[in-house]
Amino acid sequence: MFEQALYRSDMLRCALCQDAPCTRACGRLDPAALLRSVWFQDEKAAASRLPEEDLCADCPAPCESACLRPGQVPIRALLGRLRDTVKPRLELPLPEGDELLRTELCGVPLENPFLLSSSVVGSTYDMCARAFEAGWAGVAFKTICSFDIHEASPRFSAITGDSGSIVGFKNIEQLSDHSVAENMEIFRRLKQNYPTKCILASIMGQNDAEWEELARLCQENGADAIELNFSCPNMADGGLGSDIGQVPELVERFTAAARRGTSLPLLAKLTPNVDRMSPAAEAALRGGADGLAAINTIKSIIGVNPHTYVSAPAVRGMSAVGGYSGNAVKPIALRFLAELGQNPALAGMHLSAMGGVETWRDALEFILLGAHSVQVTTAVMQYGYRIIDDLKDGLKLYLAEKGFRSPAELRGLALDAVSQSTDTLERDSILFPKFHREKCIGCGRCAISCADGGHQAIRLDARRQPVLDGKKCVGCHLCVLVCPQRAIGSSRKRITRTITPKENSL
């Protein structure tokens, strides 16, 4: 993890360009694709794609000269690290083909677990076609409805990290602005031209009759499964969207209505704007749902302007509570998924998970907590459909290295280690931090955080090296988290609380 942090820190100025000048200048490698793999924590797959010959040796690095930020991205050094540090440690080559990734959605075959989630990223024929060509297994098409949709402008805002990339994303976007007939035509064309891809039709009705009719139309026009949108935070007026997901009786009622209109698999898409998701999930099961999709976006307000006093996005002097997504919501999504995965009443239901997935590691975490399929939107909006390459390659290589034959064999392996209460955790031992002197630069960040946010157990010696007072340390590991050099880890053994070790530097 330390090396990955270093790789990504050197990538911070990379713009992840379209038709990247660095690749056009090189002519022998594809530096842009390799750097993108580094960005998406797929270093092993990137190293596996490097030829045995060192093509960068004695090269004048035209890739760096052609970079749109010349001198700011150490392309040759990054590729050198992949070749010299990562490639020699590869356990296996990247498996060819995608056989390892095959799975299913309620019996519908999936080429891999990755779907576009219901949103703007899957809202037209052209967009879905390009996503399928790129390698996505399917799409949860943008929610179809029978009422008029007129969007606001602007309708997006975001919280960005140090690199400028989006950490948290807010939208006030609503549903598909195409007519039902137009969307049915899109389904027919997609199924005709991409018969092996999965079309998960997202629908929202205003009453029982509409839920039933929309489900029937989707089946007749080529959908493989149907997702019931009970959770859109931007369609709350009149008992729509997330208002339904908060009322189990409505979830059951409208699921049953949709079930009357179709024999296709039904997935209920649930809202995270609740304390517990299980009541709505169990109601969906009673209504005839075959699976669940979670989580939809979280109600939010972002960035109140200190001059206009309006939050973002501002629409002619007003804003509104909207849906929050992006990598920042992943911990919340994982929490709800674990709840669903541990509920015995829901055993056997398909879980299609989403909420902050950017990398194959993110997707892996959802699968380990019970997901059968994984949906993505915000990362696609930021980086494009091309991220599917690293999603597939990273997961594929992980499966091969661990000896798994499919994503299904990973499903739920982490559930037994999750407790819904901290009261069950062992509290009679301490795991001390361990300082890695060769990485430490003596900044003192660990001492500051321990003094002002911890237990005053760290001081700097005359050489500006941290020294731990074992009598005061409680093993909270705040110092591990704040170290900018990743120079603090964990000791190898726990010490019981009855032992009070002398001051030491471990």
**In this structure, are residues 363 and 340 in contact, taking their beta carbons and an 8 Å threshold?**
no
Token output for 345: 């009443």
Q: In whole angstroms, give the CA distance from residue 368 to residue 90.
A: 23
Q: What is the largest CA-CA distance in the chain?
A: 77
CA–CA–CA angle 367, 373, 375 (5° rounding): 105
CA–CA separation, 77 vs 87, rounded Å? 14
232 given a catalytic annotation: yes
Cis peptide before 154 (omega within 30 of 0): yes
Q: Considering only CA atoms, which of 48, 51, 37 is closest in space to residue 93?
A: 48
Q: Are 261 and 215 in contact (CB under 8 A)?
A: yes
8 A C-beta contact, residue 170 and residue 313 = yes
Element (H, E) at 251: helix 248-261
- Residue 434 parent element (H or E): strand 433-435
**With helix as H, strand as E and coil as C, how does 185-242 read?**
HHHHHHHHHCCCCEEEEEECCCCHHHHHHHHHHHHHCCCCEEEEECCCCCCCCCCCCH
C-alpha span between 253 and 203 (Å, rounded): 15
Q: Do 387 and 334 form a contact (C-beta atoms < 8 A)?
A: no
Q: Is 229 helix (H, G, I), strand (E, B) or coil?
A: strand
**Catalytic residue from among 63, 232, 450, 479:** 232
Tell me how far apart the alpha carbons of residues 473 and 112 are, in angstroms, rounded to a whole number. Answer: 46
Contact 290, 106 (CB under 8 A): yes
Q: Tell me which residue has tokens 């959908």.
A: 223
Give residue 502's region: left, alpha or beta (phi > 0; psi -120 to 50): beta
Question: What is the distance between the alpha carbons of residues 316 and 124, in angstroms, rounded to a whole number?
Answer: 29
Residues in the chain, total: 506
Residue 40 near residue 394, CB atoms below 8 Å: yes
From the list 402, 408, 398, the residue with the least C-alpha distance to 372 is 408
Among the residues of 262-329, which ranges form H helices? 278-287
- Return the active site residues: 232
